[in-house]
């Protein structure tokens, strides 16, 4: 696959052409930054923010999705197939998260048909990060602000032009016909990559975490760590990889619809059994669950850490909790008990 | 000595003498401008306590969480102390279980701005406390722009009001951060989780979102102390204080009641008067 | 427009068993005419009426809601309607604040002997809701 370069004008034209055919979603200006919006033209796109307020998971796994309609006579209607859409301007952490979600929803030989349908109709054009925010920590987990995982094309802003690197057939077809990239472009990209990567200095020993977290399950350290947590769903809902859901039926005067809606392991009733027993009645257990899921359970289930280091849970937490601090406390605890 | 220093000194004394098992306060978080609720159980830990304009959470919320620890001290701003009064009135905590460290508050600052609730605050100093840590805060002039905006809003047509508010709550993702951060929301099973019968839908349908916010505001009538914690906790930046200010205004004008300022007066919606106005009833 | 002329509002009426429901009964027995717009739900007391009932009625597509109980001082359970009065006052003001048109949700005190008054009340409420048109706000579609 050939790396190409695309000028700002060419990029605007490409987007305007796409907008005529399909729905294009991109970061748009919002009160305190940027968030996803459907764009009608390239000049609505806003790439100056480090990242969008909400992650891109809603494109694959919407907050609320109608999966069936039925009436009292048993006439059922399934939802129509999703439309083609382009997700433009996604950052490497969020694109990696889409890959994690795809892995989750197609794991153990089962495929979620709704997620699968959306994925097939989606073109993902990412933009590399040339700067980070204080809460970013993708590199701490071995990811990179210039990674192209989960994307069809990765664009890197070199200043005068964008470098366009295809990562799939879909991506290659999209940028075919553009001028090829030269060595100087790739060198400039390397320069930018090294500069931005130097902004994230922390490192998390995910291997040691993975090995020791299961041993710490019953440790009283979780009671202490979880004290400031109020068990709202903010972190889980704004996390690009959190994927728990509930299925709920609602009826209005005889017409019913079945919805899949986001759920959160932080909600008290999330783990309540039909018998009434709730293994995570204690809020500390719910806090523990999220940390263990991100850094251990998903490694067992899917072979990867599902935290991508986007930092949204840190900035959105009403109690100012920093998952990096939690993990550091756990690691130092592991250190002190090992000695 | 500033408030933080007095707080640290007193917290250390209370902990080392065993007068309290824990001091519930705030500490710095990893983010500048953001404080975290902090639970000091030793004099060494008490060194991390702070009190300043970043201390945004209503700590009364945590009193219910740490109920079984024993006697606790809690840092209380004016609004937090009113929440404590409401919790005492509702028998959720006992007076002898808490040692209230009152602090005067000049307002919480979030994202560089004084929080909406603080701009119209009428109770910057605690109304109930065991000791005051430092100076009382001066009563600041209320932000008239907010009052005027509220009045302008009432002059809109019903359709316009519905449009503005439904647009506001359309952003609601039903994460319930507002509910979780509120000291008044302590129901073991919240109405949103009720099934058989289901009281409100779980999708973020506009109708259900409005019902959630209307009903939560209604459940707060006579109890909400307008601390603004819910407003600051909302990850989607919804202006929740509009609902809360309105409900507080309704309760004040109709029943001459303000939540949490007088422990001897039960919350307005737990009592009634044969003389209550009924001009709206046919 | 022809549609508006044929608009027959659906109004859910929560009537307390001891006074308002009996009053409605009296209207019926006395063959008093009133518009067939109300769908009656009998409750033991106006104090039983949870604001959720009112909101859910609107969500399910009711064009209007009527809640009626005993006159203050006459409650069969002594204080139920006093409790309700405060609750309804806050709900009424809050609904109006949110843009639910005045007249969509109506509260009333109707005693068991006020059959004619009940009929008149239903006429008035129906007229009012007809003028407001079908309820669109809070209505859930499926």
Domain boundaries, chain A: 4-197, 206-338
Please report the pLDDT score of residue A338 as a whole number. Answer: 66
If you average pLDDT over every residue of chain A, what do you get? 93
What integer pLDDT is reported at residue B195 of this predicted model?
85
User: What CA–CA distances, in Å, run from B128 to B19, B52, B99, B261?
Assistant: 19, 20, 10, 9
> What is the reported pLDDT for C3?
52
Helix (H, G, I), strand (E, B) or coil at B264: coil
- The phi-psi region of residue A38 (left if phi > 0; otherwise alpha if psi is between -120 and 50; otherwise beta) is beta
> At A57, is the pLDDT very low, low, confident or very high (cuts 50, 70, 90)?
very high
Phi, psi for residue A125 in degrees, rounded to 5:
-110, 110
Predicted complex ipTM: 0.93
Q: Do residues B267 and B89 make contact, with C-beta atoms less than 8 angstroms apart?
A: yes
Min Cα–Cα distance to chain B from A112, Å: 20
**pLDDT at position C1, please?**
47
- Please tell me if residue C56 touches chain A, with a CB cutoff of 8 Å: no
The answer to whether B113 contacts chain A (CB < 8 Å) is no
Alpha carbon distance A7, A179 (integer Å): 10
Segments of chain B with pLDDT less than 50 = none
Question: Which residues of chain C fall short of a pLDDT of 70?
Answer: 1-5, 142
Residue A78's pLDDT is 87
The answer, for B194 touching chain A at a CB cutoff of 8 Å, is: no
pLDDT confidence tier of residue A71, bands split at 50, 70 and 90: confident
| Interfacial residues of B (vs C; Cβ cutoff 8 Å) | 154, 157-166, 191, 199-201, 205, 207-208, 210-211, 214-215, 217-218, 221, 243, 246-247, 250-251, 254-255, 268-269, 272-274, 276-278, 280-282
| CA–CA separation, B261 and B251 (whole Å) | 14
Is the minimum CB–CB distance between C55 and chain B shorter than 8 Å? yes
Q: How far apart are CA B160 and CA B164, in angstroms?
A: 6
User: Which of B210, B243, B280 is closest, CB to CB, to C92?
Assistant: B280
Residue A132's contacts (CB-CB under 8 Å, 6 or more residues apart) are: A50, A145, A196, A199, A200
* Residue in the structure block whose two tokens are 């639970």: B39
Q: Which chain C residues are within 8 Å of B254, Cβ to Cβ? A: 86, 89-90, 93
- Distance, in Å, from the CA atom of B213 to the CA atom of B235, rounded to the nearest integer, reads 15
Domains of chain C are 2-132 (3.40.50)
Q: What is the pLDDT of residue B94?
A: 96
DSSP state of A76: E
The pLDDT, as a whole number, for residue B27 is 97
When pLDDT is averaged across residues A183-208 and rounded to a whole number, the result is: 93
Cβ within 8 Å, pair C61-A252: yes
To the nearest 10°, report the CA torsion of A279, A280, A285, A286: 150
Q: Is A258 on the interface with C (CB under 8 A)?
A: no
At residue A72, the pLDDT reads: 83
pLDDT at C6: 80
Give the pLDDT band (50/70/90) at residue A1.
confident
pLDDT interval class at A80 (50, 70, 90): confident
Q: Does A255 touch chain C (CB under 8 A)?
A: yes
Q: Tell me what pLDDT residue B250 has.
A: 97
Q: Helical H runs in chain C?
A: 2-5, 20-29, 51-59, 80-98, 115-132
Which one of B177, B189, B202 has the shortest CB-CB distance to A318?
B177
Instruction: Provide mean pLDDT across the span A277-285.
Output: 95
**CB-based contact B224:B269 (threshold 8 Å):** no
pLDDT band at A252 (very low <50, low <70, confident <90, very high): confident
Contact C60 A252 (CB under 8 A): yes
């Amino acid at each position: 696959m050939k790396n190409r370069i695309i000028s700002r004008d060419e990029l605007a034209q490409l987007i305007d052409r796409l907008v005529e055919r399909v729905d294009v979603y991109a970061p748009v200006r919002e009160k305190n930054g940027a968030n996803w919006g459907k764009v009608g033209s390239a000049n609505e796109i806003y790439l100056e923010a480090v990242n969008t307020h909400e992650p891109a998971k809603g494109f694959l796994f919407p907050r609320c999705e109608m999966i069936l309609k039925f009436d009292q006579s048993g006439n059922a209607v399934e939802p129509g197939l999703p439309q083609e859409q382009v997700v433009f301007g996604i950052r490497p952490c969020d694109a990696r998260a889409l890959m994690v979600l795809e892995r989750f929803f197609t794991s153990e030989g089962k495929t979620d048909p709704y997620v699968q349908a959306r994925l097939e109709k989606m073109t993902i054009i990412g933009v590399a990060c040339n700067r980070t925010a204080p809460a970013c920590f993708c590199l701490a987990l071995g990811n990179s602000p210039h990674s192209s995982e989960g994307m069809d094309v990765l664009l890197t802003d070199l200043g005068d032009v964008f470098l366009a690197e295809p990562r799939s057939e879909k991506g290659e077809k999209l940028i075919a016909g553009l001028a090829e990239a030269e060595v100087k472009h790739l060198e400039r990209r390397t320069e930018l990559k090294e500069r931005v990567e130097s902004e994230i200095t922390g490192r998390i020993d995910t291997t040691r975490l993975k090995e020791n977290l299961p041993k710490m399950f019953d440790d009283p350290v979780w009671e202490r760590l979880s004290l400031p947590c109020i068990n709202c769903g903010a972190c889980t809902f704004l996390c690009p990889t959190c994927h728990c859901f509930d299925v709920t039926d609602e009826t209005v005067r005889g017409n019913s619809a079945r919805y899949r809606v986001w759920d959160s392991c932080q909600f008290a009733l999330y783990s309540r059994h039909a018998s009434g027993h709730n293994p995570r009645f204690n809020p500390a257990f719910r806090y523990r669950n999220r940390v263990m899921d991100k850094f251990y359970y998903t490694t067992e289930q899917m072979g990867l850490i599902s935290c991508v280091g986007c930092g949204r849970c840190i900035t959105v937490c009403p109690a100012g909790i920093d998952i990096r601090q939690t993990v550091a406390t756990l690691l130092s605890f592991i250190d002190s008990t090992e000695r | 000595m500033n408030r933080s220093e007095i707080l640290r000194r007193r917290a250390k004394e209370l902990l080392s003498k065993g007068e309290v098992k824990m001091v519930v306060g705030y500490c710095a978080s990893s983010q500048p401008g953001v404080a975290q609720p902090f639970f000091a159980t030793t004099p060494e830990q008490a060194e991390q306590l702070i009190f300043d304009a970043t201390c945004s959470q209503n700590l009364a919320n945590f009193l219910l969480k740490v109920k079984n620890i024993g006697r606790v001290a809690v840092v209380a701003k004016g609004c937090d102390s009113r929440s404590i009064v409401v919790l005492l009135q509702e028998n959720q905590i006992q007076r002898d279980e808490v040692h209230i460290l009152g602090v005067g508050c000049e307002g919480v600052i979030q994202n560089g701005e004084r929080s909406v609730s603080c701009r119209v605050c009428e109770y910057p100093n605690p109304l109930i406390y065991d000791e005051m840590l430092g100076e009382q805060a001066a009563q600041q002039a209320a932000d008239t722009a907010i009052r005027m905006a509220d009045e302008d809003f009432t002059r809109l047509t019903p359709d316009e009001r519905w449009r503005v508010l439904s647009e506001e709550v359309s952003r609601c993702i039903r994460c319930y951060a507002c509910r979780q951060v509120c000291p008044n929301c302590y129901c073991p099973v919240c109405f949103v989780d009720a099934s058989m019968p289901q009281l409100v839908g779980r999708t973020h349908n506009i109708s259900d979102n409005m019902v959630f916010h209307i009903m939560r505001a209604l459940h707060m009538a006579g109890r909400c102390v307008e601390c603004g914690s819910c407003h600051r906790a909302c990850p989607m930046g919804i202006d929740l204080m509009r609902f809360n200010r309105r409900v507080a205004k309704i309760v004040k004008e109709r029943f001459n009641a303000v939540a949490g300022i007088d422990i001897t007066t039960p919350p307005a919606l737990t009592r009634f008067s044969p003389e209550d106005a009924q001009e709206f009833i046919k | 427009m022809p549609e508006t002329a044929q608009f027959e509002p659906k109004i859910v009426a929560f009537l307390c068993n001891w006074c308002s429901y009996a009053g409605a009964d009296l209207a019926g027995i006395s063959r008093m005419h009133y518009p067939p717009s109300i769908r009656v739900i009998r409750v033991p007391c106006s104090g039983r009426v949870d604001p959720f009932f009112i909101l859910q009625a609107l969500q399910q597509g009711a064009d209007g809601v009527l809640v009626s109980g005993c006159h203050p001082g006459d409650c069969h359970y002594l204080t139920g309607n006093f409790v309700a009065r405060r609750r309804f006052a806050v709900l009424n003001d809050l609904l109006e604040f949110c843009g639910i048109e005045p007249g969509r949700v109506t509260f009333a005190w109707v005693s068991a002997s006020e059959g004619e008054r009940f009929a008149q009340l239903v006429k008035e409420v129906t007229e009012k809701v007809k003028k407001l048109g079908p309820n669109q706000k809070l209505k859930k579609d499926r």
